[in-house]
Structure 1
């Protein structure tokens, strides 16, 4: 005997409703906005002091944090591993994920890691534990047409619209901007200090100064103008154009602490113009610094360093007086700089580190790991805490190629201690 027809229909309807409810629960669990924080286990590592040389190779670009951790960016995840001088990437020390937002930028100040997401959310993590310190709202990032490469270098070494700067009262501010607005958030506690409206894509951020200002390039009305905005209040303090130049401007920050944050100087040029001009930035209008005029010049403290005709030269950035010169390095170029160090890369891919004050060689070694060789070209570079990390690109470089064609190997980043 079976169920009567009416009862069968009722049972079938209930079964369908239960199935639909089960599917809805699964879909909600899978697709609903969520975050997953996996805090650190084990003791916070001490900062090591490795000997100068190549440490290892990594598949993704590391952000060196607090001299102890390497922090990485994935599509929807920011995570760290240890030790900082480990030869390979290891199991995450901590991890933080969000869904469905995408990670668009990461910066670090001391032991605080600030991440920015595609929905505009800012999430600050404690580097020692991986736990959330604060959350804040911000503007959605400006959409970028840049190719998202697998190393994540653009997210941790060049996070557009996400910059740090130190105020005179000792506070550190993270400045976050989009097309329509910018905000300043105090790093330690996550308090919003200010919010301002922006005119749109005709204005873009360039970086921040080491004196607490946001540098913007305004093309909205008339000739392109450099704008200096107070990072403590959001107010524009200075609008400036170089006295000689084209109607358009290309502005490149120099002497930055990391990425385009806490920069000491600028170099301005017209589009396609290699004969630019260098400027020191401070409280008022930028001050001309001829030692920074040549392409490839950088500034470290009070010294400008450049390679001209195969000779590395150090000059006073304020007077232009020559301090030292090195003609024994061969064909080379300035690769990166950090406090107390300037890094040059030779034609044979030797990494040479000099004292910017005296020109004394601190270390020199080939950027070679395993059997990879040195027949590669450098891509993005990160320098922090005495370490240098370099993307290795396959010769000849094909910017339109996929990642396997673009990079030398699957572990494309070489990490070195200097």
Structure 2
């Protein structure tokens, strides 16, 4: 007869082993439980990673009316920093106006403000998560978040649109489409449009409860586009989504769905296999598919088509629907570069009632029977952006300057426009704060008329100086450019023609450098698309969009006063022999004259905020001055109400010398006072 081995004290050894194993198992279970609890109640806890504010303040709805024709002034403004999350391309900022509120959606979260005052109402941010989409339907506002670095961790959160109160949250929901340009995924009639992981099924989700209400399989061999600038759009009663359809001939389709019922309203095949850009107006759907811009009516019938692979350029063609007319801005096929037209098309007949050449409008809005159009430049030679108020009946327009600077080449958010409550809301991209940039939202109202024309912000035309008078013979001699030839150019703002040159281009003698290949003519206003007019001679620090200078042939730091420093040394960096080197062509431009010094200062600040590289200069002698661009070839300065830009081809530092002379002449227009800076 055998027995188990005994430990001291009479306990079997097998029993002790069981207890050790149980202890290990208990320890593992405890560690796992602690890990789960830490992940749920610490790492995933709302109390430390969420910043959520709500409000109980009432809000007043706004009438659908914009500001009257005439000068515009800032009522309130707000800057939203760009958020670069883990998902490339979704770094935009989107806006919407409704229910008396302005909604700002960015990767950082949601921010809702009073549309009249700009006061904050409620907001929601979530640390470690990025907002990749948002939706609005009825009284609900919803945000779609993904955890940074883990696209499988998805979260949809529903809020009361007015108070910001949390209504519900669901994990795992995937929006049917998230446009990169607007971040707004389709929703309407109290239903959100979601999809499955294969993107082959549409799913309707109640915005009130977060529960599924219907399911709709997509056509055979078709799936939703995973990404795109604008692969979808929607309104309360209809949503349009682009489909990527395979088979023998791959192509794209447009599917229009009634969100409330989950039924297909209509379906149309498009002209290419690429992801189209979709936008929806009240009764019209616009689609740009890489071959043409197409317009469909409420029943899906195509009533308008504008052909061309560049008909909309780099963004969706702006359009509005008003009084039964579709007003659309496009680039005609085969037209010269930069040519832009606006046409009014009757819906649903497709009859073109009128068409005319217009500036390259960056955005359109309509309210109160008027159409508001944002032009990147008031004029090709002037600094501020402009707003045209267009009569939808015949296309006649009145123009007013806007206290904005628009740089169309900046990455990030696209220009946006809306009108309500007697205000015009405009959003434009900025390079500042650097390096990531931001979007600037400005609420504009009607300003004081002033003594001059509205096109000049109320400033009389006689207040504008002659750009060629800002440098005297002594200034040119001090900078050793007395042999340069002055070439003046004038400009217009709307229907107002400025009587004196606003730009003066100085060209060196032929034996000192290449002349301008295509000098600006006396009557040439240049383009109005936010890009600098004209061409520069060889070696120029050619300005980029809205005046941003690109690297010159001889990069270097800015200099001191005109002719300043011993032995030709620049007053700032002491570069030896800078003045002795041949000076290339240079330009002096009066970019704006403000009604007040404050207006001029705001505009100069707006200019520098749109430049990737802008540095403040305190040695120019102006009230404010900035060196713009990677090289020292461009100085933007303000003296009193005047904003002037000096651009020089070469050598580095000469722009700063000339800018000092310009600042002196603006401070002493009569010639009295101390002598201008000169050689030591």
**What's the TM-score bracket when you normalise by the shorter of the two chains?**
0.5 to 0.7
Q: Which residue number corresponds to residue 11 of structure 1?
A: none
Q: Which residue number corresponds to residue 389 of structure 1?
A: 426
Could you give the per-residue CA deviations for residues 319-378 of structure 1, whole angstroms, max 9, x where no partner exists? Answer: 343434567xx63436223464433233322011324345465x7432215xxxx36338
**Which whole-Å CA distance do the structure 1 matches of 2:135 and 2:203 have between them?**
16
* 1:298 and 2:298 aligned: no
**Which whole-Å CA distance do the structure 2 matches of 1:127 and 1:143 have between them?**
22
**Which whole-Å CA distance do the structure 2 matches of 1:136 and 1:163 have between them?**
17
Q: Which residue number corresponds to residue 133 of structure 1?
A: 167
Residue from 116, 121, 127 that aligns with 1:85: 116
Whether the aligned pair in 2 keeps the contact of 1:218 and 1:225 (CA below 8 Å) is yes
Could you give the per-residue CA deviations for residues 369-412 of structure 1, whole angstroms, max 9, x where no partner exists? Answer: 5xxxx363385133445343221346xxxxxxx972575xx663
1:158 match: secondary structure? coil
Higher strand proportion, which one? 1
Q: Which residue number corresponds to residue 180 of structure 1?
A: 198
What does 1:226-375 align with in structure 2 at a 5 Å threshold? Answer: 226-228=253-255, 230=257, 231-234=259-262, 236=264, 238-242=266-270, 245-246=271-272, 248-254=273-279, 256-257=280-281, 264-270=284-290, 273=291, 276-283=292-299, 285-290=300-305, 295=312, 296=317, 298-301=319-322, 302-307=324-329, 312-324=342-354, 331-333=359-361, 335-338=363-366, 340-346=369-375, 347-348=377-378, 349-357=385-393, 359=395, 361=397, 364-368=399-403, 374=405
TM-score, normalisation: structure 1: 0.65
Residue from 45, 62, 68 that aligns with 2:100: 68
After TM superposition, give the deviation of residue 141 of structure 1 in Å. 5.5
What does 1:100-111 align with in structure 2 at a 5 Å threshold? Answer: 100-111=128-139
Whether the aligned pair in 2 keeps the contact of 1:185 and 1:191 (CA below 8 Å) is yes
Q: Which residue number corresponds to residue 398 of structure 1?
A: none
Q: Which residue number corresponds to residue 250 of structure 2?
A: 223
Q: Which residue number corresponds to residue 17 of structure 1?
A: none
Whether the aligned pair in 2 keeps the contact of 1:389 and 1:413 (CA below 8 Å) is yes
Gaps of 5+ in 1: 1-21, 147-153, 166-170, 395-401
Distance change (3 Å), C-alpha of 1:345 and 1:75: closer
More displaced 10-residue stretch of structure 1: 174-183 or 48-57? 48-57
Distance change (3 Å), C-alpha of 1:209 and 1:132: closer
2:193 match: secondary structure? strand
The number of equivalent residue pairs is: 349
After TM superposition, give the deviation of residue 68 of structure 1 in Å. 1.9
* 1:164 and 2:171 aligned: no
2:276 match: secondary structure? strand
Larger RCO (CA within 8 A; separation ≥ 6): 1
**Which whole-Å CA distance do the structure 1 matches of 2:177 and 2:326 have between them?**
35
After TM superposition, give the deviation of residue 116 of structure 1 in Å. 1.7
Gaps of 5+ in 2: 1-33, 81-92, 147-152, 333-338, 379-384, 447-680
Residue from 28, 51, 75 that aligns with 1:55: 75
Distance change (3 Å), C-alpha of 1:354 and 1:210: farther
**Which whole-Å CA distance do the structure 1 matches of 2:160 and 2:128 have between them?**
23
Distance change (3 Å), C-alpha of 1:358 and 1:58: same
What does 1:8-27 align with in structure 2 at a 5 Å threshold? Answer: none
* 1:380 and 2:409 aligned: no
Whether the aligned pair in 1 keeps the contact of 2:53 and 2:124 (CA below 8 Å) is yes
Q: Which residue number corresponds to residue 124 of structure 1?
A: 158
What does 1:137-152 align with in structure 2 at a 5 Å threshold? Answer: 139-140=173-174
**Which whole-Å CA distance do the structure 2 matches of 1:96 and 1:267 have between them?**
33
After TM superposition, give the deviation of residue 240 of structure 1 in Å. 3.0
**Which whole-Å CA distance do the structure 2 matches of 1:138 and 1:341 have between them?**
43
Report the aligned-residue RMSD: 4.3
Whether the aligned pair in 2 keeps the contact of 1:324 and 1:358 (CA below 8 Å) is yes
Whether the aligned pair in 2 keeps the contact of 1:249 and 1:268 (CA below 8 Å) is no
Distance change (3 Å), C-alpha of 1:249 and 1:356: farther
Distance change (3 Å), C-alpha of 1:358 and 1:412: same
